[in-house]
């Protein structure tokens, strides 16, 4: 049994014979880069030998290809890596052969010059198949928009709509297409808290609350699309038409974040992870603070229901949930690493509970 499989993609039937190597021919007309990507992954999944490599249908292997493949296998075993690659020989009529070799493999160099490894790359099959199963496929029907300026222009107008991985020819460019709406925008930064409000995505990262463009949840304006605070953000809780934000203190933003005024509503913030909303009334929210449980509504009005009766020292995080039982509703809060909780007793009485 051969140790190697040559994967050959071709629009015509594959008749290549390589003694000592299994040839896996895949006949398919590839009309785009997306088709090529999908065909390569499908073919790789069918390989059953320990090693494999892709071979273009118009390429040739040297006469000593078996010794070259054996050398690749030996290098992979010696270095404990799942891939090895060979030199490329360029042959032109009337000219001497030219050998082209790349440097020792390096991730950073490969990132800036991925096509340098394009001739004979020998892979260990099982690791390659495992990686391939995690690669994304291009959704069918996906299109890309191409924007260009006119001669000596500065405004980007849409020039072409092309299928993802396909090709398009732009012959003339007039400033008549739709303007590019994403110029100057950046991906919404990753953060610790992610919330959706109206048509925007909100993301808290450290002291900064970023918000996306309207109806574009993955894009943010790096110049104006954020609100900075003087303390780390511990809570972002949308409520009705506004948003409560806790960062050292608790603030209320009435309306859209891009135009809303920041109003301070409490002189202290919330414990991280403690905010929640009423499951049947999303315009009622609650969270745990260092001074007890806070309840708020969509008008920016709130009340600490325990501040006069309970004092909690410290606490790193908290969690809350609403329980309905026996016609009553209870908000239950649990605090991680709290200090001493002191309750104020106003009155007491003896009682006997009788269960029927």
The whole-angstrom separation of Cα 70 and Cα 86 is: 12
Which phi and psi (to 5°) does residue 199 adopt?
-105, 15
- Residue 279 domain flag: yes
Residues 100 and 10 in one domain: yes
- Residue 350 domain flag: no
DSSP per residue over 248-314, as a string? Answer: SEEEEEES-TTTPPEEEEESS-B-TT--EE-SS-TTEEEEEETTEEEEEETTS-EEESSTTTEEEEE
Residues 125 and 200 in one domain: no
- Residue 52 domain flag: yes
Residues 17 and 40 in one domain: yes
pLDDT in tens, the chain (356 residues): 789 999 999 989 998 899 999 999 999 888 777 778 888 999 999 999 999 999 988 877 878 889 889 988 998 888 888 888 876 666 677 777 665 555 455 666 666 665 555 568 899 999 999 999 888 776 666 677 788 887 777 778 887 777 665 566 666 666 777 777 788 899 999 999 999 998 999 999 999 999 999 999 989 999 999 999 999 999 999 999 999 999 999 999 999 999 999 999 999 999 999 999 888 888 999 999 888 889 999 999 999 887 776 666 667 888 888 888 887 888 888 887 655 555 544 444 444 443 43
- Residue 356 domain flag: no
The residue out of 124, 148, 180 marking a domain boundary is 180
**Residue environment code for 187-202, b if the CB has 16+ CB neighbours within 10 A, otherwise e:** ebeebebebebeebbb
- Residue 353 domain flag: no
User: For residues 335 and 288, is the Cβ–Cβ distance under 8 A?
Assistant: yes
Residues 29 and 71 in one domain: yes
The residue out of 65, 98, 133 marking a domain boundary is 133
- Residue 65 domain flag: yes
- Residue 122 domain flag: yes
User: For residues 86 and 68, is the Cβ–Cβ distance under 8 A?
Assistant: yes
The residue out of 180, 209, 242 marking a domain boundary is 180
Residues 190 and 332 in one domain: yes
pLDDT at 348: 47
Residues 155 and 267 in one domain: no
Residues 96 and 11 in one domain: yes
Residues 335 and 321 in one domain: yes
Whether the pTM exceeds 0.75: the reply is no
Residues 19 and 151 in one domain: no
Q: Residue 80's domain spans which residues?
A: 4-133
- Structure token digits, residue 168: 């398009």
The domain total for the chain is 3
Give the residue from 116, 60, 70 showing the smallest Cα distance to 91: 60
Residues 108 and 144 in one domain: no
C-alpha R_g of the chain: 32
- Residue 351 domain flag: no
- Structure token digits, residue 116: 């340098």
Residues 191 and 328 in one domain: yes
Residues 297 and 329 in one domain: yes
């Amino acid at each position: 049994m051969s140790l190697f499989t040559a994967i050959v993609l071709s629009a015509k039937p594959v008749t290549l014979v390589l003694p000592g190597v299994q040839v896996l021919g895949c006949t398919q007309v590839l009309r785009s880069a997306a088709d090529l990507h999908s065909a390569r992954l499908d073919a790789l999944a069918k390989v059953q030998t320990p090693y494999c490599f892709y071979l273009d249908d118009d390429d040739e292997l040297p006469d000593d290809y078996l010794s070259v493949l054996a050398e690749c296998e030996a290098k992979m075993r010696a270095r404990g890596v799942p891939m090895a690659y060979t030199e490329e020989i360029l042959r032109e009529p009337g000219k001497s052969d030219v050998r082209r070799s790349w440097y020792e493999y390096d991730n950073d160099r490969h990132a800036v010059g991925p096509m340098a490894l394009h001739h004979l790359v020998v892979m260990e099959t099982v690791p390659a198949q495992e990686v391939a199963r995690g690669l994304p496929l291009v959704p069918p029907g996906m299109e890309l928009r191409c924007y260009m300026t006119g001669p000596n222009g500065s405004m980007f107008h849409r020039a072409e709509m092309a299928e993802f991985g396909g090709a398009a020819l732009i012959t003339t460019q007039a400033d008549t297409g739709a303007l590019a709406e994403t110029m100057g925008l950046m991906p919404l930064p990753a953060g610790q808290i992610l919330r959706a409000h109206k048509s925007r995505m909100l993301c808290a990262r450290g002291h900064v609350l970023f918000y996306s463009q309207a109806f574009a949840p993955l894009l943010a304006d790096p110049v104006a699309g954020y609100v900075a605070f003087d303390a780390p953000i511990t809570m972002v809780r949308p409520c009705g038409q506004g948003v409560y934000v806790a960062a050292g203190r608790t603030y209320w933003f009435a309306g859209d974040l891009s135009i809303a005024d920041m109003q301070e509503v409490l002189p202290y913030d919330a414990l991280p992870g403690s905010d929640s909303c009423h499951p049947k009334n999303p315009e009622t929210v609650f969270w745990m603070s260092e001074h007890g449980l806070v309840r708020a509504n969509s008008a920016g009005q709130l009340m600490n229901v325990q501040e006069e009766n309970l004092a909690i020292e410290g606490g790193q995080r908290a969690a809350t949930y609403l329980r309905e039982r026996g016609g009553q509703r209870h908000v239950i809060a649990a605090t991680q690493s709290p200090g001493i909780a002191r309750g104020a007793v106003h009155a007491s009485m003896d009682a006997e509970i009788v269960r029927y």
